[in-house]
Chains A and B, each alone.
Chain A
Amino acid sequence: MTAMTDGSSSSLPAVAPDALPLSRGLPLGERASAALEHPAVQVEVGSLHAYYGRHRVLRDVTFTARPNAVTAIIGPSGCGKSTLIRCLNRMHEVTPGARVEGEVRLDGSSIYAPGIDPVVIRQRIGMVFQRPNPFPTMSIFDNVVAGLKLAGIRDRQLLDEVAERSLQRAALWDEVRDKLKSPGGALSGGQQQRLCIARAIAVEPEVILMDEPASALDPISTLKIEELMDSLRASYTIVIVTHNMQQASRVSDQTAFLTVGDDGAGYLVEFDDTATIFTNPRQRLTEDYISGRFG
C-alpha cells in the first residue's frame, strides 16, 4: 500500500546562501568541455539531513553538482546513496514518514522553499530509476511524450519531433523507429532503460538524476547507457548513483563518497574531482573503499 504524501517542507531551516560552497565557474571536466551544447545549471546540496520517521538516514551532506558534468555518488550498501539522489528532486518525501532538513538549490534557488511545488521541481529535474519502468500499456511513442502530454501539449507535429529527437539522443531511435506504436513493455531491459532516459529528456529538464541506471542491465546495455551519459553531459547536469566504482571512474567528472556512520546515518566522506578521488584521495576511508578494502 502506498500513500503518497507530498510532505510540506515549510518547516525547513533556511540556510544562508553563503554557507554553501558555490562552485560556479570551476573548470569543467576534460571530456565535458568537448561539446557544450546547452548551458546547464548547478545543484547545490547544503547541510542536508534525511529521515525516515525518527530514523536519520543521511547526515549533513554538502556538495555541489557542477553544470554540464556527471557527478557520481558512490559508497557501500545502506549509506544513503539512493536517499540522497531522491532528495534532489523531492522524491524522498513521497515515502510516508520521510522528510528532509537542509538545503538543495537548483540554479541558486531552493527547491525546498515554502510554496515551491514539487511537481514543478520534478519537471525541471528528471529521474531515471534502477529498474526500467516504462508504462507497459503505453506505446513507445506515448511513453516518450508522456511528460509532454501531462503538461497538456497536444500539438501532434511537436510531439513527433520531440519523440524522434529524444529517442535519438537516448540512442534508441534506430532500434524502434519502425515500431513506435508497439508497447514499451515489449522492449528488452536495456532498450527499456534507454526509453526511460528518452522519456526523461523529452521534457527538457535541466538536471537528470540516475539511480543505479545500469545495475539491472547486461554489460553491453550498460556500456550504451554509459556512452549516453557521456553525450548527455553536453546539455544537462547529471547526478548518478552507482555501486560500481569502475563505472563511477569511467563516466563521472566529480565523485561524492558516502559511507555509514556509527549512528547508522550515511554521511559524506569526501567530494572531489573523480580523478582526485580515485588517484589521490584525502581521506583514508575513501582510499580503503576505492581500493576494495571494505564495502
Chain B
Amino acid sequence: MSVVPGQPDRIRTLLSRHRPRYGEPIFRGLVGLASLTVVALIAGLILVIAQQSLTGIAHNGLAFLGGSDWDPVHQVFQALPFIYGTVFTAGTALVLAMLIGVGVAIFLVDLAPAWLARPVGLMVEMLAAIPSVVYGLWGIFVLAPWLRDFVEVPLHDTLGFLPFFSGNPIGIGNLAAVVVLTIMVLPTVAVVSRDVLAAVPISQREAALALGATRWETIRIGVLPYARSGIVGAGILGLARGVGETMAVTMVIGNAPVISLSLFSQGYTMASVIANEFSEATTNLYRSSLLEIGLLLLMVTLLINAVARLLIWRVAYGSTSRSVLA
C-alpha cells in the first residue's frame, strides 16, 4: 500500500495522544507480589522449621548427628541410622539410575530415530508422573516378594559371605527401597541428561566425526566431555529427589533404625521417620527432634538442588566454550 500524503502526520498525531498509564504500576505490583510470595514462603518455611527445632538442637547436641540411639520414651534422639539410611539408599539408587539414565539419554539424543525417540522419551517422562504411593504399593506387594524369591535368596546362598548380602532375605528392606528409588530417580536423570546432551552443539559431533570417529567414539570424545558437568547436575538433581522421597521408601524399607551394609537388612530414612512418627510426637522435645531431622533434610536438598541447577545451567546456557570447564 502506498503512503497517502498527510498520513504520516496523522499517525504521529494519534500516537502522541496521551493515554493513561496507571495500569503500569498495578501490573508491576501484582507480578512483583506474586514473586515475592514465593520468596517469602521459602524464607518463612526455613525460618519456622529452624526456630521450632531449636529445642531439639539444644537438647540433642552433636550426638544427634553421631549417635544411633532413637528412643523417644527416654528422650534420646540420635539420627545417624536415618541419615545413614537416606545416604545409603539414595546413593546406591543414584549410581544405578545414572548408569541407566545416561544410557537412555545417549540413545534418545544420538542413536534413536525420531519416530522412536519421541515416544520413548515421553514414556520416561511418564515414569516421573506415577504417584509415589503407587510405587510403594507395587514395591511391597509385587517387587519385594519377587526380589526375595529370585534375587535375594540366590544371592544369599551364593555370595552370602559378602557383607552386602548377609542377613535374612525377606524382601522388605534396603534392596527393595533401592530398586524403587532407582525407578523414581531414573526419569529425572534421563530427561535432564537428554536435554543436556541435546544442548551439545552439533559442531562438537562434527569435529569428532570429521576426524574419523565412529558413532560411539563421537559420543565419547565430542559429546560426553562437553556435557560432563550437566550430566553431573542431572545426577545431583536425581539425588535430591531420592533423598527427599518418602512414601514409597517408607512402604518398602522396613523402618528399622539399623546401620548395615547389607542390601537385605531393614533400614530407615530421614523422610520415613518423620512420616511414621509425626503423629506420635506428643512431647515438645520429640516434635522438635523430628523437625530437626526435617531441617537437616531441607538444608541438604536445597543445597543439592542449587549445585545441580548451577551445573546444568552452565552447559545449557553458558555462553562460551570455557564455561563447561569444571
Binding site for B on A (CB under 8 A): 1-6, 89, 91, 94, 96, 119-120, 122-123, 126-127, 129, 131, 133-138, 146-147, 150-151, 183, 185-186, 196, 199-200, 203
Contacts and interface: CB of A to CB of B under 8 A. Distances in A.
Interface stretch (B73-81, B107-115, B253-261, B266-274): B107-115
Interface in B63-99: none
8 contacts: A1-B114, A3-B113, A5-B113, A96-B113, A119-B212, A122-B211, A134-B321, A203-B211
A136 B201 CA distance: 12
A229 to B, nearest CB: 17
Given A136-B322, A137-B228, A185-B321, A129 B203 contact: yes
B202 interface: yes
Interface string B37-76: 0000000000000000000000000000000000000000
Contact of B214 (A3, A5, A119, A138): A119
Among B207, B222, B225, B226, the most chain A Cβ lie within 10 Å of the Cβ of B207
Interface residues of B, number: 36
Contact of A186 (B111, B201, B203, B322): B322
A154 to B, nearest CB: 15
A151 B205 CA distance: 17
Given A136-B321, A137-B325, A1 B198 contact: yes
B110 A2 contact: yes
B173 to A, nearest CB: 40
Contacts of A200: 210-211
Contacts of A196: 207
Contacts of A146: 208, 211, 221
B157 interface: no
B170 interface: no
B207 A135 contact: yes
Contacts of B205: 2, 4, 94
B212 A150 contact: yes
Contacts of B112: 3
A6 B212 CA distance: 13
A129 B207 contact: yes
B225 A135 contact: yes
B206 A129 contact: yes
Given A147-B212, A150-B211, A150-B221, A135 B206 contact: no
B210 A127 contact: yes
